[in-house]
Chains A and B, each alone.
Chain A
């Protein structure tokens, strides 16, 4: 089934054992290999739940009621073990403490390659390479529990990357990182996507970075996907974002609010595109009517 999409959700509904209401209320979503997707929504919209469904933790570990279907690489997640799925979908949790279990950072990063059957030497080489890539090599000998929040997040990301998953899912994995580390992480995702073809799904409140890096944006509101499309198209829907309680990137909001005044053709994805439009307006005015 080489033609099956990497992710295919059909009518996915889910509620936790402790909740009365559905957290996901009918999600239809297809993500092809090599896509770079941003997922946004307010707290409680169902973003984390959706991420958990992608690697089988829902329903295997959470219980609750799941309706509809989740297919990863063509296979129904109900019939796959989480361990098998983790080689395909690497998920970094919002709560890193739930993820780090080993006594040193290096062991944490050896877990996946060893369980994939690599020899110790190969596994170590892979772990070291990944740690170097996210500036965490000096932490290799440290106990994860002794690290700061930002360091833990970097280690959790490294541990997931050592499995070389076809898809990387980061669920608000940047909340403890400083601004420059967040930018570096987005740049790393760009590189994985461009060089290895890794499919990326980023859940984040960093709207400016998502607009610039992700090519497709999903807006989740109260368990439903209310927007799904190329970033430059989705970012036109200011009212839908407002109603969902999610802010737009600042330059996209500027474009919307100066729509009749400045020569915008589509919402700018970064400040360079916005600056070009302002300069164009200045030239037009200088040239006269």
Chain B
């Protein structure tokens, strides 16, 4: 499946229909959330956001806009100074982090902050043991996870000796093994080359297709445009835009005000809008649309 089949060129509703009733969790809500570290300045102000099960959303913004703080609040690592965060019906202020960990998985920006075990297999086993699962269930999930992430050959390797892309894969595998309904990724492609970045985004898309709600904090707008359906823009701790990725990417002035620049293909697409080509969010989309556009002109009298 190409990126375009997932990310249509035209606008679409910000959130999929349905409130997740009858599904096995994956809903997330921030209600009037404000946060500050100690008595310092407010890192987040009056944030209201809702994520339905199965969404794939990007959170973008400049350094210091509050992206990482928001992510830590949504996973329950930080508790709101004001307002509340509800994870599948559970208020994060009332829940233990371990209880939240079953519902929400958090992938750190730097894999070295997350990896600590002596082998890849031990890294995956750690979370599973903490869930208190039966030993045969733990063994089965380990094997399934190693197979799913193609890590069998690396199972006995010291994780810190792995290449950066593989480290990230082990981090995600060890979280996904716990089968959270929601996965939060903090700058997963920072410092990664194109090949590894793409692999992570493809993985996130696959997990999302399997029903996991995914939130991605990133400044990599090429991947945001190509892979996500909804984009939230933060500036100075406030949500300044929340809408379909196509609409947000077309708002060049808003993005510039947040020190962001839309991907080159989007800028090209906006530049030649008068030719009748629809907005393209990725090169794949632009190639398809150019073909269709030329065919149309071919057919016209």
The answer on a CB contact under 8 Å between A150 and B290 is no
**In the complex, how many angstroms separate the beta carbon of A25 from the nearest chain B beta carbon?**
18
Report the bound CA distance from A245 to B219 in whole Å.
21
Q: Which residues of B contact A148 (CB under 8 A)?
A: 63-64
Which of chain B's residues has its CB closest to A177's CB? Answer: B63
The answer on a CB contact under 8 Å between A179 and B294 is no
Assuming A205-B193, A205-B194, is B264 touching A178 (CB within 8 A)? no
Report the bound CA distance from A246 to B197 in whole Å.
11
The answer on a CB contact under 8 Å between A271 and B294 is no
Stretch of A101-109, A114-122, A159-167, A279-287 lying at the B interface: A279-287
Q: Which residues of A contact B290 (CB under 8 A)?
A: 254, 258, 261-262, 278
Q: Which residues of B contact A208 (CB under 8 A)?
A: 264
Which of chain B's residues has its CB closest to A257's CB? Answer: B287
Which of chain A's residues has its CB closest to B269's CB? Answer: A271
| B-contacting residues, A242-256, CB 8 Å | 245-247, 249-251, 253-254
List of 4 A-B pairs having minimum Cβ-Cβ separation, nearest first: A245-B195, A271-B268, A179-B261, A178-B259
The answer on a CB contact under 8 Å between A275 and B268 is yes
Q: Which residues of A contact B81 (CB under 8 A)?
A: none
B191 close to A (CB within 8 Å): yes
Q: Which residues of B contact A181 (CB under 8 A)?
A: 259
A180 close to B (CB within 8 Å): yes
Q: Which residues of A contact B256 (CB under 8 A)?
A: 180
Q: Which residues of A contact B221 (CB under 8 A)?
A: 179
The answer on a CB contact under 8 Å between B222 and A275 is no
A42 close to B (CB within 8 Å): yes
Q: Which residues of A contact B291 (CB under 8 A)?
A: 258, 261
| B-contacting residues, A175-194, CB 8 Å | 175-176, 178-181, 183
The answer on a CB contact under 8 Å between B294 and A250 is no
The answer on a CB contact under 8 Å between B265 and A279 is no
The answer on a CB contact under 8 Å between B294 and A251 is no
Q: What total of chain B residues lie within 8 Å of the partner, measured CB to CB? A: 37
**In the complex, how many angstroms separate the beta carbon of A205 from the nearest chain B beta carbon?**
7
Prevailing SS type, chain A contact patch: helix
**What are 30 A-B pairs with beta-carbon distances under 8 A?**
A42-B194, A43-B163, A43-B192, A44-B163, A148-B64, A175-B191, A176-B63, A178-B259, A205-B193, A208-B264, A245-B194, A246-B194, A250-B268, A251-B268, A253-B283, A254-B268, A254-B287, A257-B283, A257-B287, A258-B290, A261-B290, A261-B294, A262-B290, A262-B294, A270-B264, A275-B268, A275-B272, A278-B268, A282-B275, A285-B294
The answer on a CB contact under 8 Å between A278 and B272 is yes
Q: Which residues of A contact B271 (CB under 8 A)?
A: 271-272, 275
Q: Which residues of B contact A278 (CB under 8 A)?
A: 268, 272, 275, 277, 290
Interface residues of B (CB under 8 A from A): 62-64, 163-165, 190-196, 219, 221-222, 256, 259-261, 263-265, 267-268, 271-272, 275, 277, 283, 286-287, 290-291, 294, 297-298
Report the bound CA distance from A274 to B263 in whole Å.
14
Task: Give 9 new A-B contacts, CB below 8 A, not counting A183-B261, A275-B272, A278-B272.
Answer: A178-B259, A246-B193, A250-B268, A251-B264, A254-B287, A271-B264, A281-B294, A282-B275, A282-B297
Q: Which residues of B contact A253 (CB under 8 A)?
A: 283
Q: Which residues of A contact B193 (CB under 8 A)?
A: 42-43, 205, 245-246
Prevailing SS type, chain B contact patch: helix
Q: Which residues of A contact B264 (CB under 8 A)?
A: 208, 249-251, 270-271
The answer on a CB contact under 8 Å between A258 and B287 is yes
Which of chain A's residues has its CB closest to B280's CB? Answer: A254
Report the bound CA distance from A215 to B79 in whole Å.
50
Q: Residue-by-residue, is A199-213 near B (CB-CB < 8 Å gives 1, otherwise 0)?
A: 000000100100000
A11 close to B (CB within 8 Å): no
Report the bound CA distance from A178 to B298 in whole Å.
43
Report the bound CA distance from A43 to B163 in whole Å.
9
A149 close to B (CB within 8 Å): yes
Q: Which residues of B contact A254 (CB under 8 A)?
A: 265, 268, 283, 286-287, 290
Assuming A261-B291, A285-B297, is B194 touching A271 (CB within 8 A)? no
**In the complex, how many angstroms separate the beta carbon of A261 from the nearest chain B beta carbon?**
6
**In the complex, how many angstroms separate the beta carbon of A187 from the nearest chain B beta carbon?**
13
Which of chain A's residues has its CB closest to B300's CB? Answer: A285
Q: Which residues of A contact B263 (CB under 8 A)?
A: 250
**In the complex, how many angstroms separate the beta carbon of A118 from the nearest chain B beta carbon?**
34
The answer on a CB contact under 8 Å between A180 and B195 is no
Which of chain A's residues has its CB closest to B64's CB? Answer: A148
Q: Which residues of A contact B298 (CB under 8 A)?
A: 285
Report the bound CA distance from A116 to B190 in whole Å.
37
Which of chain B's residues has its CB closest to A94's CB? Answer: B191
Which of chain B's residues has its CB closest to A43's CB? Answer: B193
**In the complex, how many angstroms separate the beta carbon of A144 from the nearest chain B beta carbon?**
17
Which of chain A's residues has its CB closest to B191's CB? Answer: A175
Report the bound CA distance from A44 to B115 in whole Å.
20
Contact of A178 among B62, B275, B286, B294 (CB under 8 A): B62
